[in-house]
Structure 1
Amino acid sequence: MTSPLTGTAAGVPFTALPPAAGGTAPLIVTWHMLDAPRTDAAFAAALPMNDLPAWRVHLGMPMCGARMVDGSMDAILERARQDPLMAVLHPFVRQAAEEFPAALASLRARLPVDDGPIGVLGGSLGGAVALRILAESDVPVFAGAVVNAAIRMRSVVELFPEEYQYDTESEKAVDSLDFVAKAGSIAARAPLLVVSGELDHPALRTDAQDLVAALGERSQLLPIPGLAHPLADEPGIEPAPQLPLTREVDAGLTAWFRRHLPDPG
């Protein structure tokens, strides 16, 4: 396989995988998890979608990968202990979504990607970024996909050990990241594949089912037997060999995006 290209696009780190045939091709953009694989390089290794005739550009989330503080995730963990919603979950999704248009413009200027609609993919918290792009941006999208995604942020907050004390600001923030409530906007934009590990957190599995039900015929649920929440072994920072169950996810994503790729020309 062709070696990945790495760099930054408008300040956002990325790992780009070119199509095997080379030349100008459609673009699929991804956002990784905060669980393993938790960097753009590791996510690219876990879900390379190598058989797609498209560029796959994996963007780094805030404070991850090349943007880690002191080369570790400790700063994120400390923020999460202080306030998981308002110090990590909400601002990370907001920043990743807000920095995306400039990053996309930079990628288009430097890579031989076509100027048509893009694909979007996100895992876990990165799934919330992809869903926000679908629900709230005007970037043309031909198809989207999420894997073990943060679909209702309230469900993610409940995974933390301490009971969360909401106030007016945090209630507004968590409700802004309820994508079942925004299913109408998402369905109007692009078809969506919702990949859900059958050993993922029960609340996240329920949210996946609810989103697909709300989206109707514009969506598809892909359950993966035996798959828990992570897609790679710890520590999930460096690229690692693809796990067998992750290979099933990769195959499902590849088939989905191939089905929806825009016709050439």
Structure 2
Amino acid sequence: MRNSPITGWAAGVPYTALPPATDGPAPLIVTWHMLDAPRSDAAFAAALPMEELPAWRVHLGMPMCGLRMVDGSMDAGLALVQQDPLMSFLHPFVAQATEEFPAALAALREQLPVDDGPIGVLGGSLGGAVALRVLADTQTPVFAAAVVNAAIRMRSVVDLFPGDYPYDEQSAKAVDSLDFLPRAEVLARRAPLLVVSGELDHPALRADALALVEAAGDRAELLSIPGLAHPLAEEPGIEPAPQSPTARAVDLGLTRWFRRYLAAVSAGTSIAPR
């Protein structure tokens, strides 16, 4: 089938690509999945396919997830969490996913019939931190961005782990580098931003979502999803699964959001100041 998922590797990064219904070059939306369920590119593609968009949706695999799991399980990642949740797990995962993105994007442009215009970016949970870092710390042209139950302030994520984290100078610098509230104006200048927040998400993460929208001003919008906790799928969340009702609500909101700005991209209209 023409619209069946396409799987491959882009500069060492696994991906699941969903093609648009129309032929010919089309805009590109790149996503990074959660480390909660759905925790692979294939599972994230099933949870949030955004099927009605006239664009390629390419879901990249996060480090040590999906096809990059060690020995086919998440055990190696869990060991890193136990070693040091911030410096061995959260920070290096976001750093690696961000650093490998430019080469992956170049490879995707060679492998798939995508146009060479600005892209859309989407991230869920820890993948949300990657999408925000692409906005804040790279020059990649972006026509619209969205995050879902995102890691907006990494200190809030670290606080979800048991015990008091023993910050030192290095770890404090690392965690603050992944605090996007102080950079809300930068994010807003780069691209319009949709912040999707489950009403049952972790309270601190939901508070961060509301704070980011307020700080970013009229370039950001909040989409609250009733009944949505943090995950978008049932465990184990590695293989594609039927879309849940709450994931469907997120999917519809994302589709409306990206469709709004895809129309401007197709017309050659500038979306955000560069």
Counterpart in 1 of 2:223?
Answer: 222
Superposed CA deviations along residues 2-36 of structure 1, whole A, max 9, x for unmatched, are: 21000100000000000011221000000000000
Deviation at 1:263, TM superposition (A): 2.1
Normalization by structure 2: what TM-score? 0.96
Provide the secondary structure at the position in 1 that maps to 2:190.
Answer: coil
Q: Secondary structure at the match of 1:105?
A: helix
Q: Does 1:28 align with 2:64?
A: no
- Take 1:94 and 1:121, find their aligned partners in 2: how far apart are those partners? 16
What residue is the counterpart of 2:214 in the other structure?
213
Matches within 5 A, 1:32-43: 32-43=33-44
Rounded to whole Å, the distance in 2 between the matches of 1:7 and 1:162 is 40
Counterpart Cα distance in 1 of 2:259 and 2:23: 16
2:249 counterpart residue number? 248
> How big is the shift at 1:153?
0.1
Q: Which amino acid aligns with 1:263?
A: S
Partner residue in 1 for 2:272 = none
Q: Structure 1 counterpart of 2:214, which letter?
A: A
1:190 equivalent in structure 2: 191
Equivalent residue for 1:153?
A: 154
Task: Tell me the equivalent position of 2:266.
Answer: 263
Secondary structure of the residue aligned to 1:66 is helix
Aligned AA (2:42): A
Aligned equivalents of 2:4 and 2:142: distance in 1?
Answer: 26
Deviations 1:30-70 (A, max 9, x none): 00000000000000000000000000000000000110001
Q: Where does residue 7 of structure 2 map in the other structure? A: 6
**Deviation, structure 1 residue 235:** 0.1
Per the TM alignment, residue 264 of structure 1 is displaced from its structure 2 partner at its CA by: 4.4
SS at match of 1:179: coil
What is the distance in 1 between the residues matched to 2:23 and 2:92? 36
Report the equivalent of 1:100.
Answer: 101
What is the percent sequence identity of the aligned residues? Answer: 76
Q: Which residue of 2 aligns with 1:238?
A: 239
Q: How far is the alpha carbon of 1:162 from its aligned partner?
A: 1.9
Cα RMSD of the aligned pairs, angstroms, is 0.8
Q: How does 1:169-180 map to 2 (within 5 A)?
A: 169-180=170-181
Deviations 1:196-233 (A, max 9, x none): 00000000000000000110000000000010000000
Q: Work out the CA distance in 2 between the residues paired with 1:99 and 1:142.
A: 21
Query: 4+ residue runs of structure 1 moved beyond 4 angstroms?
Result: none
Q: Per-residue displacement from partner, 1:94-144 (whole Å, max 9, x unpaired)?
A: 000000000000000111101000000000000000000000100000000
Q: Normalised by the size of structure 1, how large is the TM-score?
A: 0.99
Structure 1: which 5+ residue stretches go unaligned?
none
Q: Which residue of 2 aligns with 1:167?
A: 168
Q: What CA distance in whole angstroms lies between the structure 1 residues aligned with 2:71 and 2:163?
A: 27
Matches within 5 A, 1:40-51: 40-51=41-52
Query: Residues 221-257 of structure 1, C-alpha deviation per residue, up to 9 Å, x if partnerless?
Result: 0000010000000000000000011000000000000
Match of 1:87 in 2: 88
Structure 1 window deviating more from structure 2 (124-133 vs 159-168): it is 159-168
Q: Are 2:62 and 1:61 equivalent residues in the alignment? A: yes
Name the SS for the 1:188 alignment partner. helix
- SS of 1:44's equivalent in the other structure is helix
Structure 2 counterpart of 1:116:
117
Look up the equivalent residue of 2:40 and give its one-letter code: T
Give the letter for the 2:150 counterpart. Answer: A
SS for the counterpart of 1:30 is: strand
